């Protein structure tokens, strides 16, 4: 299986799906606990929510491996994203509910972590950087939308129930101010609860690539999974909920893709 899947289009927008993959190599899978084998922290069905991209001149990049193999939205050398708050590592060792991912004594050691970074993390970022460079060469600027979802209740990371839509702009540092303002206004006008730059301000991808001074503008969209799917059991996609959410996302992504810089 390819490490990265890319759909290349001529428009200024690139949509990134870093946590929707489920592939785990057999030599890693055999070290997983039963809880980890279910891959509970996958961003379930997120590319499906964005099916409308097929009708837009937007490029996409998708990591096909599970975040449990290596998390491409973390610093490869272990720097923290949210000082003082709980977060998972570049090669996570516990699930979001703090269950062990690895059987006793099977967690990856330093050399194995570096091997995974080389095999999975680096190719994703090489491809992402190349796509942004290609887009910027065409348009003079590039737009990056980093697409995520998470369970609506994860006490490890936040108190209570997460709002439906969580826009991250690294507190305004990853994109032009007006971009964040216009996207947030569309969120507020929707039927979904919405916040900006709260618990999820943007991970490594948003913060690393978003550089308005260099004409690359990045945002992260974190979605509470109860807004479009059944969170428990088989993680079933809810067609009715998803259709309403997808319409809002389509409006927002279209607004971003047509933004004039």
Q: Which residue has the tokens 């946590």?
A: 19
Per-residue pLDDT at 73? 98
Mean pLDDT computed over 51-55? 98
Domain that holds residue 114: 4-257
- 77: pLDDT confidence band, cut at 50, 70 and 90? confident
Per-residue pLDDT at 192? 98
**Into how many domains does the chain fold?**
1
Mean pLDDT computed over 80-104? 92
* pLDDT over 90 (residue 168): yes
Q: Any idea what the CATH number is for the domain that residue 242 is in?
A: 3.40.630.40
Structure-token pair, residue 226? 């109860």
Burial of 256 (0-12, 13-18, 19+ CB in 10 A): buried
Per-residue pLDDT at 86? 82
Mean of the per-residue pLDDT values of the chain? 96
| Angstrom distance (rounded) from CA 137 to CA 185 | 30
Asked if residues 229 and 235 have their Cβ atoms less than 8 Å apart, the reply is yes
Per-residue pLDDT at 82? 76
Q: Which residue has the tokens 């959410």?
A: 245
Mean pLDDT computed over 79-102? 91
Percent of the chain with pLDDT over 70: 100
| Angstrom distance (rounded) from CA 76 to CA 66 | 16
Residue 87 makes CB contacts below 8 A (sequence gap 6+) with 80, 81, 157
Over residues 193-249, the pLDDT tens digits come to 999 999 999 999 999 999 999 999 999 999 999 999 999 888 999 999 999 999 999
């Amino acid at each position: 299986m390819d490490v990265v899947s890319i759909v290349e289009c001529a428009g200024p927008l690139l949509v990134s799906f870093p946590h929707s993959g489920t592939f785990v190599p057999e030599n890693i899978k055999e070290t997983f606990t039963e809880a980890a084998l279910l891959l509970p922290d996958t961003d379930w069905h997120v590319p499906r929510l964005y099916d409308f991209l097929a009708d837009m001149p937007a490029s996409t990049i998708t990591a096909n491996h599970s975040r449990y193999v290596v998390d491409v939205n973390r610093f490869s050398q272990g720097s923290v994203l949210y000082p003082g708050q709980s977060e998972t590592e570049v090669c996570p060792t516990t699930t979001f509910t703090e269950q062990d991912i690895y059987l006793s004594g099977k967690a990856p050691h330093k050399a194995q972590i570096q091997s995974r970074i080389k095999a999975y993390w680096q190719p994703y970022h090489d491809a992402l950087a190349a796509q942004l460079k290609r887009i910027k060469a065409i348009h003079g600027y590039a737009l990056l939308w980093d697409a995520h979802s998470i369970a609506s209740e994860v006490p490890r990371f936040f108190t209570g129930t997460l709002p439906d839509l969580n826009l991250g702009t690294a507190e305004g540092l990853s994109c032009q101010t007006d971009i964040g303002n216009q996207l947030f206004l569309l969120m507020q006008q929707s039927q979904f609860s919405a916040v900006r730059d709260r618990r999820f301000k943007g991970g490594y991808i948003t913060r690393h690539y978003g550089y308005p001074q260099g004409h690359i503008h990045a945002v992260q969209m974190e979605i509470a999974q109860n807004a479009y799917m059944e969170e428990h059991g088989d993680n079933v996609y809810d067609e009715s909920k998803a259709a309403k959410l997808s319409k809002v996302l389509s409006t927002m992504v279209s607004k971003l893709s047509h933004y004039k810089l």
